[in-house]
Structure 1
Amino acid sequence: MIKSGLRRYINNFKGFSREIWILAIITFVNRAGMMVLPFLSKYLKEDLGFSYGEVGWIMVSFGLGSMLGSWLGGKLTDKIGFYKIMVFSLFTSGILFISLQFIQSFWGLCAGMFVIMSVADMFRPAMFVSLTAYAKPENRTRALTLVRLAVNLGFSVGPALGGLIIMGVGYQGLFWVDGATCIIAISAFAMLVKEKKNPEHHRAHDATPVQSVFKDRIFWLFLFVCFVTSMIFFQLFTTLPLYHREQYNLTEVDTGLLLMLNGLLIFLLEMPIVSISERHAIPKIKLLMWGAVMMGLSFFVLLPEGWAGLLIFSIILMSFGEMFIFPFSNSFAMSRAPKGHEGRYMALFTMSFSLAHIMSSKCGMEIIDHFGYVFNWVFMGAVGVMAVGVCLWIQRLLAAENR
Structure 2
Amino acid sequence: MKLLLKNYINTFKGLSKEIWWLALITFINRAGTMVIPFLSLYLKEDLQFSVSQVGWIMSAFGLGSVVGSWIGGKLTDQIGYYKVMVRSLIATGILFIALQKLNTFTSICIGIFIVMLVADAFRPAIFVALNAYSKPKNKIRSLTLIRLAINLGFSAGPAIGGLIITGLGYRGLFWVDGITCLLAAIVMIVVLNPKKAKVLDDLTNENPVSVYKDKAFLIFFIAMVLFGIVFLQYFSTITIYYKDIHMLSELEIGLILGLNGLLIFIFEMPLIKWLENTAFTKLGLVFFGSVLTGLSLLILNFTSWSGILIIGMLLVTFGEMIAFPFSNAFAIERAKNGSQGEYMALYSISFSIAHIFGHNTGLQLTANLGYNNTWYIIAGIAAICAVILFTLNKKLNKIN
Q: TM-score range with shorter-chain normalisation? A: over 0.9
Q: Which residue of 1 aligns with 2:240?
A: 242
In the TM superposition, 1:11-50 aligns within 5 A as 11-50=10-49
Question: Partner letter of residue 125 of structure 1?
Answer: P
Question: Separation in 2 of the partners of 1:274 and 1:330?
Answer: 13
Q: State the TM-score, normalizing by the size of structure 1.
A: 0.96
**C-alpha displacement of 1:277:** 1.4
Q: Conserved in 1, the CA contact under 8 Å of 2:133 and 2:198? A: no
In the TM superposition, 1:226-265 aligns within 5 A as 226-265=224-263
Deviations 1:258-295 (A, max 9, x none): 01111111111111111011122421111011111111
Q: Conserved in 2, the CA contact under 8 Å of 1:333 and 1:349? A: yes
Question: Partner letter of residue 116 of structure 2?
Answer: M
Question: Separation in 1 of the partners of 2:208 and 2:385?
Answer: 29
Q: Which residue of 1 aligns with 2:274?
A: 276
Question: Separation in 2 of the partners of 1:225 and 1:156?
Answer: 27
Question: Separation in 2 of the partners of 1:57 and 1:82?
Answer: 32
Question: Separation in 1 of the partners of 2:172 and 2:155?
Answer: 18
Question: Separation in 2 of the partners of 1:279 and 1:89?
Answer: 37
Question: Separation in 2 of the partners of 1:382 and 1:48?
Answer: 33
1:55 partnered with 2:78: no
Question: Separation in 2 of the partners of 1:166 and 1:67?
Answer: 29
Question: Separation in 1 of the partners of 2:161 and 2:279?
Answer: 40
**C-alpha displacement of 1:400:** 2.7
More deviation in 337-346 or 365-374? Answer: 337-346
**C-alpha displacement of 1:339:** 5.6
SS at match of 1:211: coil
**C-alpha displacement of 1:72:** 0.5
**C-alpha displacement of 1:210:** 3.2
In the TM superposition, 1:198-213 aligns within 5 A as 203-204=204-205, 207=206, 209-213=207-211
Question: Partner letter of residue 321 of structure 2?
Answer: M
Q: Which residue of 2 aligns with 1:156?
A: 155
Q: Conserved in 2, the CA contact under 8 Å of 1:200 and 1:339? A: no
Q: Which residue of 2 aligns with 1:401?
A: 399
Question: Separation in 1 of the partners of 2:128 and 2:198?
Answer: 11
Q: Conserved in 2, the CA contact under 8 Å of 1:218 and 1:397? A: no
Number of positions where the alignment pairs a residue of Structure 1 with one of Structure 2: 398
**C-alpha displacement of 1:52:** 1.1
Q: Conserved in 2, the CA contact under 8 Å of 1:201 and 1:339? A: no
Deviations 1:362-399 (A, max 9, x none): 10111011110111100111111111111111112202
Question: Partner letter of residue 78 of structure 1?
Answer: D
Percent identity for Structure 1 against Structure 2:
49
Question: Partner letter of residue 123 of structure 2?
Answer: R
Question: Separation in 2 of the partners of 1:203 and 1:299?
Answer: 43
**C-alpha displacement of 1:5:** 1.4
Unaligned 5+ runs, structure 1 = none
RMSD over equivalenced CA pairs, Å:
1.3
Unaligned 5+ runs, structure 2 = none
Q: Which residue of 2 aligns with 1:302?
A: 300
**C-alpha displacement of 1:76:** 0.8
Q: Which residue of 1 aligns with 2:83?
A: 84
Q: Which residue of 1 aligns with 2:97?
A: 98
Question: Separation in 2 of the partners of 1:231 and 1:219?
Answer: 18
**C-alpha displacement of 1:202:** 6.8
Q: Which residue of 1 aligns with 2:183?
A: 184
Question: Separation in 2 of the partners of 1:140 and 1:203?
Answer: 17
